[in-house]
Chains A and B, each alone.
Chain A
Amino acid sequence: MSLNEIWEAASASPYAPLVSKDNQFAVGFSLLFAAFILTGLFGLNRSLASIVSFGVPASLAFGFGAVFMICAVGVYV
């Protein structure tokens, strides 16, 4: 099967990103803001329980938020 036939066979499934280009800034900003607040809450009480309740969600929000934000400003990673 030639590669062009694979392309033709896949005509019904164009690639759709998780977050469309128009929404990248909103999603990225919300996640980074959430990460900022959660980091502040962790800072108030730096205990092991805080790492689980605030640190882990803050890290996840920052990880995904940073990726969406850098895409939103035009560096498509």
Chain B
Amino acid sequence: MLRSRLQYIMMSAVALLLLASGCSKVEYRKIDSPAYLRVFNNLNYTISLENKDEPVPFLTMLIDPQTDQDGMPVSAAVKGDFLDQRDPYAPPYPSHAGTSISYKNPEYPGKENVLVGPVLNGFDLSSWAQIPSGKHRVMFMFRPVNNTPFFDLEPRLKKSVLIDTTLTLDAKEVYTLHVLQKDFITKKNGIYLRQENFHKLPLSDSMVYVNFYNMSAKGFQEADKSLKTGYKKSGALQNGVKDNMNIFYTLYKTEPSIAFPLPGYTQKFLGSLIRNSEVLQVTPYYSFPLFADGTSDGIHTTIWQHLDFMAPGMHPANNPYYPFQSETDGNWAPVECLLTGKTAIQGKENSALLPNMIVNIPSGIYNPRSFATVNTIEIVNGNIYLTTVQRKYAPPIY
């Protein structure tokens, strides 16, 4: 008796719920034939006495803006607000979307609540925003550093245009857009749109891939040290590297120690790097095996990467500089890709720090499991950045 009454009450509750919720219609947003776009603000200068009047590099991106008769934007189809200087690490998933407590966005889409890319040929594009394909007017505006949305600012603060240009985005293509300083002497700023091709290449999931760009401003390396912002964390890289560099790599077996370099993977030539902030082309991907360490179990590996950027004619084996020297005339810049990019190695004081290119994360029954990734390392003036793209992987089973 009691049971049937309970059932009756439950049933009517469910019926009520269905009645109440059944009428609301969910509007799903959809973009037909989208292009995938990820935007970085590479303006990494600091405001100092020398450049006191330069605008603070804090931006708003407007795609297809409507402007009033004075040329001031009043609305836009796509808005990427609070675009801060980029982080040293652009992770494969927009992880700061859930963890950040700041209004500042280190990239676009980053924390923005927009439609993001799908899994394309195995690669997870959730850090890329969907943008309608076709020709777009793109404006980047300097904005004051506060949490007022761009269109709510006072009119006089909405007039500082960094660039106003037109871009053509093709459907189903993957793009990264960079705001860059093009010339260090004239302080001219500009943008650089790169059509990525990693999702079209036959890349193996047992190899770690990396390509390199030097998108530094013209004249940065040659300029006097007193004119540059010293990024102490960049070590020997803080004053830039020469326009032509060779890249060497060494794999070490255990984090965070340099005691065990992997035999066969020490001081190996990887490729060359030419400064280029104008011509838009994807540089070749270089690779090394995920399980280069033969003693690992094929599931998890502790190897990490050391990179040396060296001027042509030099080799890490006959390096004339010492690891405590931060002034190497742009001839040598070492980088450690280790743990989360925060751990310095004793005896390698002038290295820039980046996170490990290999992603170690719980997956399936393994904790952790190592995954091969596709990486892009970008040098912009005295800073270095790592962008990691990862394939979709199985969720952990606990």
Do A and B interact with each other, yes or no?
no
Chain A residues within 8 Å of B, Cβ to Cβ:
none
Chain B residues within 8 Å of A, Cβ to Cβ:
none
